[in-house]
Amino acid sequence: MTETKGRVVGVNGNMVTVAFDGLVTMNEVAYVVVGEKKLKSEVIRIRGNLADLQVFEITRGIGVNDPVEFTGELLSVRLGPGLLQQIYDGLQNPLPELAEKCGFFLERGVYLSPLSEKKTWAFTPTVKVGDVVQRGDAVGTVPEGIFKHRIMVPFSFLDTYTVKSILPSGDYRITDTVAELVDSKGNIHPITMSFEWPVKRPITAYAERLRPDKPMVTKIRIIDTFIPVALGGTYCIPGPFGAGKTVLQQVTSRNAEVDIVIIAACGERAGEVVDTLKEFPLLIDPRTGRTLMERTVIICNTSSMPVAARESSVYTAVTIAEYYRQMGLHVLLLADSTSRWAQAMREMSGRLEEIPGEEAFPAYLESVIASFYERAGIVRLRDGSIGSVTIGGTVSPAGGNFEEPVTQATLKVVGAFHGLSRERSDARKYPAIHPLESWSKYKGSVNKEMTEYGRDILFRGNDVAQMMKVVGEEGTSLEDYIVYLKSEFLDDVYLQQDSFDPVDAAVSTERQQYVYNLIFDVLSTIFNLESKEEARKYFNQLRQKFRDWNGTEWESEEFAGKEKEIRTLIAEKKKGTEELALEILKKVSGS
Amino acid sequence: MRKVYSKIESIAGNVITVSAEGVRYGELAEVSSRHGKSLAEVIRLKEDKVSLQVFAGSRGISTGDEVRFLGHPMRVSFSDNLLGRIFDGSGRPRDGGTELVENLIEIGGPSVNPAKRIIPRKMVRTGIPMIDLFNSLVESQKLPIFSVSGEPYNPLLARIAMQAEVDIIILGGMGLKYDDYLFFKDTLEQGGALSRSIFFVHTASDPIVECLLVPDISLAVAERFALKGKRVLVLLTDMTNFADALKEIAITMEQVPSNRGYPGDLYSQLAARYEKAVDFEGAGSITILGVTTMPGDDVTHPIPDNTGYITEGQYYLRNGRIEPFGSLSRLKQMVNKDTRADHRALMDAMIKLYAAYKESLEKKSMGFRMSEWDNKLLKYGAIFEKEMMDLSVNIPLEQALDNGWRILAECFTKEETGLRSDLIAKFWPVK
Ligand SMILES: Nc1ncnc2c1ncn2[C@@H]1O[C@H](COP(=O)(O)OP(=O)(O)O)[C@@H](O)[C@H]1O
Ligand SMILES: [Mg+2]
């Protein structure tokens, strides 16, 4: 606490105005004292001797003249071993421990240590006395589940340091001093296994930022094949309510090929977090043989929890993501929903009586969104290892209209856009990502020319469908009709995927490549079909067989059996192959 | 004895301002005027200026009227004595019974720790195929009926309430028409459910601010019963009136509106209420069924739009039927995996075909020749609407599933359904 004293002079929703004497820092943490309780708050505006605070708790019961204490510290998270598997609220309060202490309900003013101070960790030093280190360099490691958790020189250490002492291998607590460092002026700095970092400041203790060019595999066909995401990239999922944003993120959080997943449940339903919370400890990650929970951190500030803490929650999440990136790990941050975060900003901006922008969002909305996504990236660390933070955020546009400010501001900065469509979700075409409107700037794992060929069929099929609405089926040529059937086929058996089917839910890159080759064959085949009726029936059969195929285990006997049936069915009607496709195939096999 | 203030400095909308000391945010006061007494709640503090929203409205309040602060926030009495009783929006009896004053509990309490929630697992059977088969309702779900005025949403609400196996029914009425209030009362009475019901009813002729209290008071009581192990069903009708009351206060307080005059915190305000739906580990549960009438039949209007983002789905009522499109139960996958092996697949396949039917219908209306396939779809659509969508159908889920297969077999070949071969082998009806 600082010397500064304050007292409440006004309360308006979750904003409290405080008269103070002494020094106050912008964005420092302060506590409003109400009876026995101290309510955590953040200074968000200073005018003369008045400070406006956003209170991270319910403000009921606060009165004029209640005392306010200032800490002088910015809002920070505690970093160190033991973050994985945690379930925190937006301010890093551990929710299960809170439940043990307070029962069913969230009691305000109770703040628990985010990391266990009792637990010991098996420390192995990686430096010796006399070594020279900088911020972000490891002085040792501890095993945290399957990961080697690096114990690093705190990111706030801006000098170059010489190691004066370092503990030998052994079991220590996060608060034990593991090393002493001497700075260039000769001052000694003891360091422990944990330290704090302000959430709104990006961590930049790396050597170089690289271009995101490796795919982040989600095992969702439409994404990996057509609109891929890159490790260290950014993407957004806007969509009207019920279109499938949350389900899409949930399956991604299970199946994505990354080391660590940070889930930021930001201002949406608590029930959705419960699914993850209860199921992840039971689900085995086939890549590691350990439970999914062991690679997951959940930041949970759902819709009925205090709004100001919701605003902080995405920053808490991204800071933890950056921390693990500093260990040479690939981290995926999934935020659901960034619109609720934007709305939290809007509520505060309104209370501050700032001049409102479009739909009453603050004028700085765009720059805040941009700098948040800017915290994603793939980097080379000083020891040469590569780490990344990939950010995927859902957007919940008012009225499902993508023209609104949050969607627009997000689209300006992300590398991929997975737009969900109400039409597709109504027709139960899941995942309801619109295949024509969505885009990605990243490289995927299936040959680009082959996927472009598929996309072209989708566009042409869509044109035919539009035309048929005007001229009817009878006015459509057989050739066009088959293009339409091909596009429907691609949609039905490849773009659509059953998230609740044990096999179909997650499709490996290998399988995607393999299956897409056969899809490509269908798309590029000139078929020997005499009438529209015959064509429709034929494609129904194909669809049926592909669907069944999608449900068979990769490389199983049934898989091979179904494949054979499909190949036979194609061969029966094959007259030839489109010229363009032959050229593409030649190039692919040549390279 | 708390101090009485007798100088009201401003009156605007339903908000009054007095100069007072030692007042706390959210505290209640009693305002006495020539027309009687009303409760009021502190909604803003600025130095010694205290703004209060007056539950009975500010009409007839004079600058010289008395304001007495009560030193506590809004409370309601909680005990089994509530059962069978009818109250108004601020908890006063409207059935002529005695006022309840024992065991007062605060309303609008903190939210449940997400770590203490459990995954909902119990299906609520309604006998309505559009619900049981296509959008199963689950205990502890929060789900509104989206509707335009004039649709039979209150009868639907009452029908589900009577069919559901719950211990206690709480009706929170907001801007309820008197006839509708009587309808609920009669229906529950005839069903023998009145003695396990509690009504908090704000009618269309009551002061608007009281409407704001109805969800909180209903849910606070529901929460206590749930903690005692009861399965509680809360009916909130019509939440659009609640949202409009919020808008009115926001405008009075000169808040910057975000969308069509509604305050920027509409989402958080609605969420604070709907999120009270819960299944408590080791205790009871709260299920919330609401009604949201859509102004101008526009689902993108801020009230249904924000609601849709908060609730776990919605039933879209139109022309007296629950529409397959727009209707959604987000929790259906929690329960429909354990009903019957064909449930999920049949549900999806039938809806996909119904979507195709709608397209054929559109083509037909534009005068195009119908192909063989279109004709199949037209036949299917008609049967689907009659046997699945008509609200007079009242059958168990299993029968609805069997009917589904029969309808498919009547209209299509196996491949045309898009269902997987293993399911077809097992469930396709043999003639
Ligand atoms: N991939 C999917 N497969 C099957 N059903 C889905 C899928 N995605 C969404 N749904 C259905 O739609 C509902 C709403 O999805 P959700 O992700 O919660 O929507 P949003 O987050 O966009 O509001 C889900 O509860 C589920 O019933
Ligand atoms: Mg969602």
User: How much distance in Å is there from the Cα of B166 to the middle of ligand 2?
Assistant: 28
Segment (H or E) for A561: helix A557-573
Are B305 and A536 a contacting pair at CB < 8 A? no
Assigned domain for A110 exists: no
Chain A nearest-CA distance from B78, in A, is 18
Cis peptide before A421 (omega within 30 of 0): no
Residues 6 or more apart whose CB falls under 8 angstroms from that of A381 comprise A136, A206, A207, A326, A328, A387
Q: What is the chain A residue with the closest CA to B27?
A: A61
For residues A463 and A541, membership in a common domain is answered with yes
Topology of B76-332 in CATH? Rossmann fold (3.40.50)
For residues A31 and A158, membership in a common domain is answered with no
H helical segments located in B228-281: 239-252, 266-274
Contact B169, B188 (CB under 8 A): yes
Chain B residues near residue A472 by CB distance under 8 angstroms: 363, 366, 368-369
User: How much distance in Å is there from the Cα of B380 to the middle of ligand 1?
Assistant: 26
Please tell me if residue A274 touches chain B, with a CB cutoff of 8 Å.
yes
**CB-based neighbours (< 5 A) of ligand 2, an ion:** A 245-246
Please tell me if residue B426 touches chain A, with a CB cutoff of 8 Å.
no
Q: What are the extents of the domains in chain B?
A: 4-73, 76-332, 343-427
pLDDT for B384: 97
pLDDT confidence bin for B232, thresholds 50/70/90: very high
Final residue belonging to a domain, choices A440, A467, A487: A440
Q: Ligand nearest A431 Cα, by number? A: 1
Binding-site residues, ligand 1, Cβ < 6 A? A 239, 241-247, 430-431, 499-500; B 328, 330, 332-333
> What Cα–Cα distance (Å) separates residue B121 from each residue in B139, B278, B332?
7, 12, 10
pLDDT for B363: 87
Q: Which of residues 151-210 of B touch A (CB under 8 A)?
A: none
* Tens digit of each residue's pLDDT (9 = 90 or more) over B357-410: 999 999 899 888 888 999 999 999 999 999 999 999 999 999 999 999 999 999
Residues 6 or more apart whose CB falls under 8 angstroms from that of A530 comprise none
Other Cβ atoms closer than 10 A to A411: 16
User: How much distance in Å is there from the Cα of A320 to the middle of ligand 2?
Assistant: 23
Q: What does B96-107 look like in DSSP terms, one character per residue?
A: S-PPP-SSEEES
For residues A381 and A277, membership in a common domain is answered with yes
CATH number at residue A387: 3.40.50.300
Rounded Cα gap, residues B201 and B181, in angstroms: 8
Strand partners, A30: A41, A70
For residues A192 and A228, membership in a common domain is answered with no
For residues A425 and A509, membership in a common domain is answered with no
CATH number at residue A515: 1.10.1140.10
Rounded Cα gap, residues A488 and B355, in angstroms: 14
β pairing state of A260-266 and A296-301:
parallel
Phi, psi of B319 (to 5 degrees): 50, 40
B169 is written with which tokens?
Answer: 């029914």
User: How much distance in Å is there from the Cα of B383 to the middle of ligand 2?
Assistant: 33
For residues A562 and A485, membership in a common domain is answered with yes
Q: What is the chain A residue with the closest CA to B301?
A: A399
* Tens digit of each residue's pLDDT (9 = 90 or more) over B312-362: 999 999 999 999 998 999 999 999 999 999 999 999 999 999 999 999 999
For residues A270 and A416, membership in a common domain is answered with yes
Assigned domain for A243 exists: yes
Rounded Cα gap, residues A375 and A234, in angstroms: 9
Are B117 and A271 a contacting pair at CB < 8 A? yes
Please tell me if residue B103 touches chain A, with a CB cutoff of 8 Å.
no
Contact A214, A230 (CB under 8 A): yes
For residues A174 and A228, membership in a common domain is answered with no
pLDDT for A78: 97
Q: What is the chain A residue with the closest CA to B334?
A: A275
User: How much distance in Å is there from the Cα of A232 to the middle of ligand 2?
Assistant: 24
3-state SS class at B309? helix
Rounded Cα gap, residues B74 and B52, in angstroms: 13
Chain B residues near residue A532 by CB distance under 8 angstroms: 371
Chain B nearest-CA distance from A361, in A, is 8
Final residue belonging to a domain, choices A382, A407, A440: A440
B278, amino acid identity: V
pLDDT confidence bin for B6, thresholds 50/70/90: confident
Angle between helices A365-373 and A338-351 (to 10 degrees): 140
* Tens digit of each residue's pLDDT (9 = 90 or more) over B409-422: 999 999 999 898 99
Q: Give the per-residue SS3 of A37-80.
A: EEEEEEEEEEECCEEEEEECCCCCCCECCCEEEEEEEECEEEEC
Instruction: Indicate if the pLDDT at residue B1 is higher than 60.
Output: no
Please tell me if residue B75 touches chain A, with a CB cutoff of 8 Å.
no
Please tell me if residue B46 touches chain A, with a CB cutoff of 8 Å.
yes
Looking at beta carbons, which pairs linking A467-472 to residues 24 or more positions away fall under 8 Å? A468/B363, A469/B362, A469/B363, A469/B366, A472/B363, A472/B366, A472/B368, A472/B369
Q: Which has the closest alpha carbon to B208: B238, B167, B239, B249?
A: B249
B224 is written with which tokens?
Answer: 């206590």
Q: For residue A241, which atom of ligand 1 is closest to its CA?
A: 23
For residues A140 and A161, membership in a common domain is answered with yes
Final residue belonging to a domain, choices A411, A440, A469: A440
Rounded Cα gap, residues A566 and A559, in angstroms: 11
Rounded Cα gap, residues A439 and A436, in angstroms: 8
Are B302 and A398 a contacting pair at CB < 8 A? yes
B40 CB burial (10 A radius; 0-12, 13-18, 19+): buried
Angle between helices A557-573 and A532-550 (to 10 degrees): 170
Rounded Cα gap, residues A445 and A228, in angstroms: 8
H helical segments located in B85-151: 129-132
Residues 6 or more apart whose CB falls under 8 angstroms from that of A556 comprise none
Q: For residue A249, which atom of ligand 1 is closest to its CA?
A: 17
Rounded Cα gap, residues B325 and A202, in angstroms: 44
pLDDT for A286: 80
pLDDT for A451: 96
Note the maximum CA span of chain B: 84
Q: What is the chain B residue with the closest CA to A492?
A: B418
A214 is written with which tokens?
Answer: 């490796």
Residues 6 or more apart whose CB falls under 8 angstroms from that of B404 comprise B133, B346, B350, B388
Residues 6 or more apart whose CB falls under 8 angstroms from that of A323 comprise A79, A83, A197, A203
Residues 6 or more apart whose CB falls under 8 angstroms from that of B283 comprise B226, B227, B228, B229
For residues A181 and A301, membership in a common domain is answered with no
- Expressed as residue numbers, the domain containing A187 is 120-197
For residues A411 and A556, membership in a common domain is answered with no
H helical segments located in A245-362: 245-255, 270-279, 307-325, 338-351
User: How much distance in Å is there from the Cα of A268 to the middle of ligand 2?
Assistant: 7
From the list A269, A275, A474, which residue is nearest B119 (CB)? Answer: A275
Mutate-to-test residue for ligand 1 from A221, A236, A247, A422, highest number of ligand atoms within 8 A of CB: A247
Are A63 and B25 a contacting pair at CB < 8 A? yes
B272, amino acid identity: A
Contact A297, A88 (CB under 8 A): yes
- Enumerate residue ranges in chain A where pLDDT < 50: none
Chain B nearest-CA distance from A78, in A, is 21
Assigned domain for A506 exists: yes
β pairing state of B285-293 and B278-279:
antiparallel
B95, amino acid identity: D
Q: For residue A243, which atom of ligand 1 is closest to its CA?
A: 22
Contact A82, A294 (CB under 8 A): no
Angle between helices A448-471 and A478-490 (to 10 degrees): 120
For residues A516 and A435, membership in a common domain is answered with no
| Mean pLDDT (whole number) for B229-249 | 95
Contact B177, B322 (CB under 8 A): no
Chain B residues near residue A59 by CB distance under 8 angstroms: 25-26
Phi, psi of A208 (to 5 degrees): -160, 145
Assigned domain for A303 exists: yes
Reported ipTM: the value is 0.92
In degrees, rounded to 5, the angle at the alpha carbon of residue B253 between the alpha carbons of residues B71 and B108 is 45
Q: What is the chain B residue with the closest CA to A395?
A: B309
Q: Which of residues 6-45 of A touch B (CB under 8 A)?
A: 8-13, 17
Assigned domain for A268 exists: yes
For an interface test with B, which of A104, A338, A532 has the most B Cβ atoms less than 10 Å from its Cβ? A104
Q: Which of residues 211-240 of A touch B (CB under 8 A)?
A: 240
A47 is written with which tokens?
Answer: 């005018």
Please tell me if residue A186 touches chain B, with a CB cutoff of 8 Å.
no
Q: How many domains does chain A have?
A: 4
pLDDT for B252: 86
Strand partners, A364: none
CATH number at residue A156: 2.40.50.100
Are B112 and A104 a contacting pair at CB < 8 A? yes
| A/B interface, count of CB pairs below 8 Å | 216
pTM (2 d.p.): 0.95
Please tell me if residue B107 touches chain A, with a CB cutoff of 8 Å.
no
A107 CB burial (10 A radius; 0-12, 13-18, 19+): middle
pLDDT for A252: 97
Q: What is the chain B residue with the closest CA to A401?
A: B300
Topology of B4-73 in CATH? Thrombin, subunit H (2.40.10)
Contact A354, A363 (CB under 8 A): yes
Tokens 């005990």 -> residue = B79
Rounded Cα gap, residues A560 and A567, in angstroms: 11
Rounded Cα gap, residues A248 and A237, in angstroms: 9
